[in-house]
Structure 1
Amino acid sequence: MELRDHGRYGYSALPERPDYHWPGGKRLALCICNNIEIFSYRSGLGSDSATLTAPQTHRNYAWRDYGNRVGQWYLFDLLEECGLPASHNVNSAVLRQYPQILQRILSRGDEIVSHGRSNGERQDVLSENEERQLIAEATEEITSLAGYQPKGWMGPYFAQSEVTLDLLQEAGYEFMLDWPVDDQPVWMRTRGGHILSVPYSVELNDSPSMVFRQESIASFECMIIDQFDEMLFQSAKRPLVFSLITHPFIIGHPYRLHALRRALAHILLHRDEIWITTVGGVNAHIRSLPSGILPGAPD
């Protein structure tokens, strides 16, 4: 049997890679990536709080909209209390329909990562021209409302087609979050050059964990702490990226938020040992390093 290869990066064993440091000589980067999403009422795609294959109803629409009305504001306040920045993967329609969210992001100085037009759709089922249009429309809407073009992309539902990386690089994106392939950034080949893959966890992610695998918030809290402690230990050998992924309609419910508060308090006991940044901060630092440091480095 001949295995089909994607051609986007080559194999690189972790112990064989060149060493480098994050700013200040730190070895572990902390990134909080929060997904702010909008959905179509009773149509399109959208997860359910209880049943994986549930149809789109008023109930699950309301459950998800709770995140934008309530949960996101709890989360903003918690980030403020902890003194933490965040990267927000934002559907462009969110910024148009809920300008208060945009203003809070801008006032905090947080990062916006483009997350498509809405989470009522996905891009991997589109033709190349349709996908190019989706990327262009999302980019133009965020740019016009936020005042700058995002450098990063996260596809709704982690979805990519065969040509997504090519289209993103051609649209001016510097990095994306859709390939959970590594705990270090990796260069990905495109037909027009390269794009950076910044680590984005599909494991330490409240949606697949608590919605799709039906784990409890107690389990997720333990996952956060264990992941952080082990990565801090492993980072003595090599630089790593710890990414914590949230959705306000999931983590923003008070009992879950309280568990997140405890987990962040544990992490911040080590504040002086880690580099607290955004995924865009990771991208910028990597681009400042000499060529050849990263796996799959540009030719």
Structure 2
Amino acid sequence: MTHDEKSPGHAVWEYQPITAAPGPDWPDGRRLAVYVALGLEEYRFGAGRTEDIVPEVGAPDLVNTSWRDYGNRVGAFRLLERLERAGIPPTVLLNTALYDTAPELLQAARRLGAEFVGHGISNSDSLEGMSAAGEADYLAAVAARIAAEEGTAPGGWSSPWLTHTTSTLDNLVATGYRYLLDLRLDDRPVPIATVSGSILALPYALEVNDSTTVVGRGASAGEFADMIVDEFDELLERSEEQPLVMSVVLHSFISGAPFRLRALDRALRHLSAHRDRVWFTQPRAIAAHLPAAQRVGGGVA
């Protein structure tokens, strides 16, 4: 292949290696920031996309519906309790339909100082196939509902099913979102330039994620807990070289199951035992700590 025949790349963000100059330390001189994202999701019955534990159940699917609803009735409360015990402030990936269907759950998260990140109206939704204008309206509707309920618009967005259109990044910035929780392209925050401005991509776990790993790949509760511990230990060691970010992604109906909760709790206790060296935080605090002039990375419009 000649030089002229080489792929020009995807042209969404610029390449920059981990060996590039580090960004600023986190507060109190700490070098590893850790946030735990908890997906609180609502699904429309019998319509749109679903996450299932039992495949190919015919309609009406009461079986998988009950599994998902367990998360909002039971699992999420127990996960919030475990995060509080570990001293980790929750980051909630929120389907705004829950304001109507499970208000007591959101009250519980709010009492713990949760950050609410826009995650769509329902998790039966997908950005895939939306028109640019339709997508912009959808993003704005999510932001408006969170602002009405919480008193402030969300700074962060995480797409249902991690779906995007060619307009998503532009629409997010134009709608007022400042950071994105969808991508794992680095162990550091990376700003991505759009025609509407810059959005900060915060490291978002695609594998230390119970949906992709436990449901998608059949990992056991113990294996998932080991992944969290190993990811943490490795990044804590590498953070001696430069400030890094680690995320863990949980879902109420997956990790909130009692047998998984026990294994997860062991991992959370391991993390919290190192709190003298680690900043347990939320995406809004990470983004606020990084003024544009100090951000690592770059993008192309």
Whether TM-score is above 0.5 comes out as yes
Instruction: Tell me what 1:183 maps to.
Output: 187
Counterparts of 1:264 and 1:236, CA distance in 2:
21
**Aligned residue in 1 for 2:297:** 295
Structure 2 residue 199 is the aligned partner of structure 1 residue 195: yes
Query: In structure 2, which of residues 198, 211, 215 is the aligned counterpart of residue 211 of structure 1?
Result: 215
What is the alpha-carbon distance in structure 1 between the residues aligned to residue 175 and residue 255 of structure 2?
32
- Using the TM superposition, give the Cα deviation of residue 7 of structure 1 relative to its aligned residue in structure 2, in angstroms: 2.8
Q: Does 1:157 align with 2:152?
A: no
Q: Which runs of 5+ in 2 are unaligned?
A: none
Matches for 1:37-186 after TM superposition, within 5 Å = 37-51=41-55, 57-186=61-190
For residue 284 of structure 2, what is the aligned residue in structure 1?
Answer: 280
Please give the alpha-carbon distance, in whole angstroms, between the structure 2 residues aligned to 1:100 and 1:228: 32
Instruction: Measure the CA separation in 2 of the matches of 1:73 and 1:221.
Output: 19
Bigger drift between 225-234 and 99-108 goes to 99-108
Moved more, 197-206 or 104-113: 104-113
The more displaced of 60-69 and 74-83 is 74-83
Amino acid of the structure 1 residue aligned with 2:125: E
Structure 1 residues 126-163: Cα deviation after superposition (integer angstroms, max 9, x where no partner): 11111112111111112112221000000001111111
- 2:256 is aligned to 252
Paired amino acid for 2:241? K
- Name the structure 2 match of 1:34: 38
Q: Is the 8 A contact 1:48 1:54 kept in 2?
A: no
AA at the equivalent of 2:114: D
Number of aligned positions between the proteins: 296
Checking the alignment, whether the CA contact within 8 Å between 2:189 and 2:203 is kept in structure 1 is: yes
The 3 A distance-change label for structure 1 pair 228 and 194 is same
TM-score by length of 1: 0.94
Please state whether the residue corresponding to 1:195 is helix, strand or coil: strand
Using the alignment, how far apart are the partners of 2:43 and 2:232 within structure 1? 32
Which residue does 2:247 correspond to in 1?
Answer: 243
* Cα pair 1:102 1:146 within 8 Å, conserved: no
Distance in 2 between the 1:64 and 1:219 partners?
Answer: 22
CA drift at 1:247: 0.1
> Residue 2 of structure 1: CA displacement?
5.7
Deviation at 1:26, TM superposition (A): 0.4
Structure 1 Cα separation of the partners of residues 18 and 7 of structure 2: 23
Rounded Cα–Cα distance in structure 1 between residues aligned with 2:171 and 2:58: 32
Structure 2 equivalent of residue 222 of structure 1: 226
Cα distance per residue 1:55-86 (max 9 Å; x no partner) = 66211111111100000111111122222201
TM-score (norm 2): 0.94
- 1:232 pairs, out of 228, 233, 236, with 236
Root-mean-square deviation (CA, aligned residues, Å) is 1.8
Q: Unpaired runs of 5+ in structure 1?
A: none
